[in-house]
Amino acid sequence: MTADLVVVGASFAGLACARAAAKAGLQVVLLEKKAAAGDKLHTTGIIVKDAVDTESWLRSVPPSLVRRIDGVRLYAPNLHSVDLHAPGYYFWATDASALLDWMVQEVRALGVEVRLQSLFTQAELEGTRWRLPMADGTEVRTRYLVGADGPHSRVATSLGLSSNQEFLFGIEHEYASATIEPGFLHCFIDRQLAPGYIGWALAGVRSVQIGLARRIPPQTLQNPGARQVKLDAFMAKIAPVVGVHGGQPVSVRAGMIPCGGLLARVSRPGALLVGDAAGMVSPVTAGGIRTALLHGRQVGEGIGAFLAGQAPDPAEWLVQRYPNFRAKRMLRWMFDRFQTDWMFNQLIGTRALRRAAELVYFHRKGGVALPSDYRND
């Protein structure tokens, strides 16, 4: 079969890209290896207000799939806490599984051919088209190829593009019921349990989500032991704040989160990477849904204009507008080297820490919410 565009990966980046390209009139095939986009999640699914502001698609999400959270409660290692708010700012907790399945229905309604259980393995350039052999013996030929296939992108490997090398590893349990203050995203700093990142808990849409992530030193990447995360110890520690009433988790989510920033080579003529595949995740907050949606949409629009002869190949110019996370890479560097529990215990009630935390969580500087600059972030 032939297509104008093949997108690999039916998650936030791939779905936003496929939708924009279909709206631009392209014939789009979306390949997804799982049986459903919402299966085997590896995300908490928190969506920041900035994404809702820029991505009009989110404003048509059924209200039953999201729950608004207005503040962050940040805990020092000794569990002293500070409440952070910004006027008008909020986060969405989402039923991420149902949200992704809803997004698939939406792009199908626009004419995108979504092929589930379709694993991308390789692509070869033949003349001006990419040829993708499929496991069932068929092949797809396409004018343009987008890799939105997550942190370990096979599209990147097949096309000789860069691959993520620096990661956090995160795991999250969902509980049917727990005692938790629902108005906050609860974030816990603890160098012993979450070196290089944090633990978190929130009352989500249908469950209480409790998770923990840690930095994986690059030299231990191949060692499965490096992914050990002490979630039980974390839950015991935060029990005074988040009480799980016995019982097993109703579901577990886990995954690698790229934290090295934008990759060096994310495109070649007629092909590009977007989302986690391109390293497009905030190295500090580990949030990647906003950038995946925003740049996925822009890539779809750019390819639509290119294939209509109205603009150059976005592989040449659009990738220049990808976020480089310069400031956040610097913060990541400092956090990796200088994080101490003592320091956060001392700083938790101070104005300096509050302002720094507001900058990280709400993109605020000097008390004024900055318009999000996605180019430099």
Ligand X SMILES: Cc1cc2nc3c(=O)[nH]c(=O)nc-3n(C[C@H](O)[C@H](O)[C@H](O)COP(=O)(O)OP(=O)(O)OC[C@H]3O[C@@H](n4cnc5c(N)ncnc54)[C@H](O)[C@@H]3O)c2cc1C
Binding residue for ligand X, selected from 5, 6, 11, 159, defined by CB under 6 A: 11
In whole angstroms, the minimum distance from the beta carbon of 251 to ligand X comes to 12
Query: Which residue carries 């012993």 as its tokens?
Result: 192
**Which one of the spans 276-284, 306-314, 329-337, 354-362 is the region binding ligand X (CB under 6 A)?**
276-284
Mapped onto helix, strand or coil, the DSSP state of residue 116 is coil
- Verify binding: residue 38, ligand X, rule CB under 6 A: no
Binding residue for ligand X, selected from 5, 12, 89, 99, defined by CB under 6 A: 12
Main-chain dihedrals φ then ψ at residue 343, nearest 5 degrees: -60, -45
**Which one of the spans 189-197, 273-281, 310-318, 342-350 is the region binding ligand X (CB under 6 A)?**
273-281
Q: In this structure, how many other beta carbons lie within 10 angstroms of the beta carbon of residue 109? A: 10
Q: Assign residue 229 a region (left: φ > 0; alpha: ψ between -120 and 50; beta: otherwise).
A: beta
Q: How far is CA 219 from CA 109, 124, 131, 223, 236, in A?
A: 45, 32, 36, 9, 30
How many residues belong to the site for ligand X (CB under 6 A)?
39
Pick between residue 136 and residue 310 the one whose CB is nearest to ligand X: 136
In whole angstroms, the minimum distance from the beta carbon of 367 to ligand X comes to 24
Main-chain dihedrals φ then ψ at residue 96, nearest 5 degrees: -60, -35
Pick between residue 100 and residue 178 the one whose CB is nearest to ligand X: 100
Tokens of 269: 């003529």
**Which one of the spans 38-46, 58-66, 131-139, 174-182 is the region binding ligand X (CB under 6 A)?**
38-46
- Verify binding: residue 7, ligand X, rule CB under 6 A: no
Binding letters toward ligand X, positions 344-373, x by CB under 6 A: ------------------------------
Instruction: Tell me the β-bridge partners of 91.
Output: 48, 69
Task: Please name the amino acid found at residue 351.
Answer: R
Task: Please name the amino acid found at residue 319.
Answer: V
Among residues 314, 281, 298, which one has the least CA distance to residue 55? Answer: 298
- Secondary element (H or E) of residue 99: helix 96-109
- Verify binding: residue 275, ligand X, rule CB under 6 A: yes
Binding letters toward ligand X, positions 45-64, x by CB under 6 A: xx------------------
- Verify binding: residue 148, ligand X, rule CB under 6 A: yes
Binding letters toward ligand X, positions 288-307, x by CB under 6 A: xxx-x---------------
**Which one of the spans 55-63, 143-151, 262-270, 337-345 is the region binding ligand X (CB under 6 A)?**
143-151
**Which one of the spans 55-63, 287-295, 343-351, 359-367 is the region binding ligand X (CB under 6 A)?**
287-295
- Verify binding: residue 34, ligand X, rule CB under 6 A: yes
Among residues 260, 276, 252, 270, which one has the least CA distance to residue 215? Answer: 260
- Verify binding: residue 255, ligand X, rule CB under 6 A: yes
CA distance 266 to 248: 41
CA distance 316 to 253: 36
Task: Please name the amino acid found at residue 81.
Answer: S
Question: How buried is 7 (Cβ within 10 angstroms: 0-12 exposed, 13-18 middle, 19+ buried)?
Answer: buried
**Which one of the spans 27-35, 229-237, 340-348, 359-367 is the region binding ligand X (CB under 6 A)?**
27-35
Binding letters toward ligand X, positions 111-130, x by CB under 6 A: --------xx----------
- The residue nearest ligand X at its CB is 288
Main-chain dihedrals φ then ψ at residue 217, nearest 5 degrees: -60, 135
In whole angstroms, the minimum distance from the beta carbon of 46 to ligand X comes to 3
**Which one of the spans 28-36, 72-80, 341-349, 369-377 is the region binding ligand X (CB under 6 A)?**
28-36
In whole angstroms, the minimum distance from the beta carbon of 33 to ligand X comes to 4
Query: Which residue carries 């797809």 as its tokens?
Result: 140
- Verify binding: residue 42, ligand X, rule CB under 6 A: yes
Question: How buried is 70 (Cβ within 10 angstroms: 0-12 exposed, 13-18 middle, 19+ buried)?
Answer: middle
- Secondary element (H or E) of residue 237: helix 231-237
Q: Assign residue 117 a region (left: φ > 0; alpha: ψ between -120 and 50; beta: otherwise).
A: left
Q: Interface with ligand X by CB under 6 A: which residues? A: 8-14, 31-34, 37, 42-46, 119-120, 148-150, 154, 170, 172, 211, 253, 255, 257, 275-277, 281, 286-290, 292
